[in-house]
Chain A
Amino acid sequence: MKLARSTLAPMLLAIGGLATLGITTQALAQDDEPAWAQGRPDSLQDAPMAPHAGKMTQTPKEELPLDHIRLPDGFNAEVWAHGMPGARMMALGDEGTLFLGTRSIGRVYAVMDNGDERETMTVANGLTQPNGVAFKDGSLYVAAINEVYRYDDIESHLADGNVPEPVELTDEFDLPDDEHHGWKFLAFGPDDRLYVPVGAPCNGCDVDADVHATIRSYEPDGTDMRIEARGVRNTVGFDFHPETGELWFTDNNQDWISQHIPSDELNRISESGEHFGFPACHANGFVDPERGSEGACDDITYPAALMGPHTAPLGMRFYQGDMFPDEYRNAMFIARHGSWNRTMNSGFDVKVAMISDDGDSASTSTFMDGFLDPRTNEFSGRPTDVQELPDGSLLVSDDQNGAVYRITYEAPDY
């Protein structure tokens, strides 16, 4: 089912208005620009906007921004694990080992929880952006650009102090090897298939709708590929509704069109293969100034919620635990990594999204913030992914500090 299209006409008009606002929308079609600068208009050549450099070294525990974190009453944050530069997407093993992927530093980490203490270790290194990690039937799956590995029986090997030799599945999955938006997210569906996004290899460009800007699913061995969603520019986080099994995902929209549009997205797949708009139609009916024309938003599925321009919603999970109050059940926690393509920073927080009664849309609200200081425009941490633990507490990873925080709840006595 699609959401209403009534916003289409006003959005088309808005494009004409951009020029009057002094924002030029023509892209410089230069081949020798770095990937992130593709589409940057001439007028912004010297604007101080470029992706934030990640930190490649350990941040000591006492320097972590724990006391910046703000949460609703009753919630509390603690440092759960640290000393893992670039730690990003999380997957939980059956025995309680937490696995984390990274980008630049090329490592995969494991954290073993021994009650009061955590042991952290590097289980793989030297990979190209191994961002995607997933766990199924005792095996850890790791997706880098472009390599896929499976580590069988990993938790029992770790308990014996070694890492199993991985089974390479790169040829079986046969994924494109573009660097740009080529880093992967991984998750198993309720159908036991492995879901893998293939981002658009650009800021904005025409793509083959059956190859790029897709979410695919595979049998765990890499066979039987299906396209589950098209027109998805760059999703780095999804999860399956605990009751309906529907796939909900975040999506990061185009840079350089404006600091204020288009908004990033939270989406829901109701029918396998449906189209979410990239590259011609963004967010809720914003027609791309270069690649869109009238009708570009026909037959496009609009987001279930808008997540704010350039805020970079990444990892998300449905909450199924008992620890938090009832209203959080089946709500989504969404980590917003934070913007670089705005002069006023925004994001750097965790949102909670609650689904409407008809199941089509969601409303969002801030759950955790404090990393962004609006007075100085500086940030002290970058939430990257969320992961529920069996006791119902919630882990939040921060790739800027290589740390994982744990959020717990106790009813306040008032």
Chain B
Amino acid sequence: MMQFGKQGWHLGRSALLALTVLGFVPAANGQAPAAGLPLEEQVEVCADCHGENGNSTTPEIPSLAGQPALTITNQMIYFRETLRNNDVMTPQAQGLSDAEIEALAAYYAKQPVSPAPDLSDLDSRRYEQGKTLAREMRCASCHRSDFSGNEQMPRLAGQREDYLIKAMKDYRERNRGGPDTTMIDILRDVSNEEIEALAHFLAHYESQSTSQ
């Protein structure tokens, strides 16, 4: 079995010793550009990639707007602890404190999701196929019936289609890392075509509630 990608992230094992009374500073692999800045400046750093208010316009970079706060918190901690590995994002989380991460999470959870998804490229056959698969595979039992996400379960409705495809393939190939193996089990035998249909449906799904 493949180890959750430790490749390139060897700082683990014997982390830099951080010694503080009643608390500690997480082991840092260099500091992220956002670490230590006030929240208003931090979100400008994030906006370079994740878009204004966390609505991404860049391929394979996820929107953060309207994600449940716990989803963002957990994923940021997985990046910081080098448990979730991405060459671009993992360094962006280094040195952020728990409190900074929780404040960023609360901020993005409150941002409105860009209204109406772009329907110009809607392929109704693939949309229907994705809808049927999502029902059969009970995606809504965890991600909520409107796919707006819940606690540690991310929002899927209105997420970028290319990112949803990438995220699902990363789980299936065990490339994402992170301690939660739920999606690895769910996507074990799911084909590329099915993943693409699921992503097409979810990206175009118009969620009733934009945030929670």
- Chain A residues proximal to chain B, CB less than 8 Å: 31-35, 45-46, 50, 53, 56-58, 61, 81-83, 85, 103-107, 117-129, 149, 151, 158, 161-166, 177-179
Shortest beta-carbon distance from B188 to chain A in Å: 6
Shortest beta-carbon distance from B132 to chain A in Å: 15
Q: Which of B120-143 contact A (CB under 8 A)?
A: 137-138, 141-142
Interface of B: prevailing SS: loop
For B8-20 the 0/1 string (1 means CB < 8 A from A) is 0101111101111
Q: Which residues of B contact A81 (CB under 8 A)?
A: 22
What are 23 A-to-B residue pairs whose CB atoms are below 8 Å? Answer: A31-B188, A32-B186, A32-B190, A34-B182, A45-B138, A45-B141, A57-B77, A58-B23, A105-B179, A117-B22, A119-B19, A121-B19, A123-B15, A126-B12, A126-B82, A127-B12, A128-B4, A149-B13, A158-B17, A161-B17, A164-B14, A178-B1, A179-B181
Q: Which residues of A contact B11 (CB under 8 A)?
A: 125-126
Q: Which residues of B contact A162 (CB under 8 A)?
A: 17
A31 touches B181 (CB 8 A): no
**Does B21 sit within 8 A of A, measured CB to CB?**
yes
Interface of A: prevailing SS: loop
* A-B complex: 10 closest residue pairs judged by Cβ atoms: A126-B12, A104-B179, A57-B98, A34-B182, A163-B14, A126-B82, A34-B185, A56-B77, A58-B98, A83-B23
**Does B146 sit within 8 A of A, measured CB to CB?**
no
Q: Which chain B residue lies CB-closest to A402?
A: B98
**Does B161 sit within 8 A of A, measured CB to CB?**
no
A-B contact count (CB 8 A): 123
For B54-95 the 0/1 string (1 means CB < 8 A from A) is 000000000000000010011001000111000000000000
- Chain B residues proximal to chain A, CB less than 8 Å: 1, 3-4, 6, 9, 11-15, 17-24, 26-27, 70, 73-74, 77, 81-83, 98-99, 101-102, 137-138, 141-142, 151-152, 179-182, 185-190
With A32-B186, A33-B185, A161-B19 as contacts: A126 and B138 at CB distance below 8 Å? no
Shortest beta-carbon distance from A234 to chain B in Å: 16
A126 touches B21 (CB 8 A): no
Q: Which residues of A contact B4 (CB under 8 A)?
A: 128
B179 touches A128 (CB 8 A): yes
With A32-B185, A121-B17 as contacts: A82 and B27 at CB distance below 8 Å? no
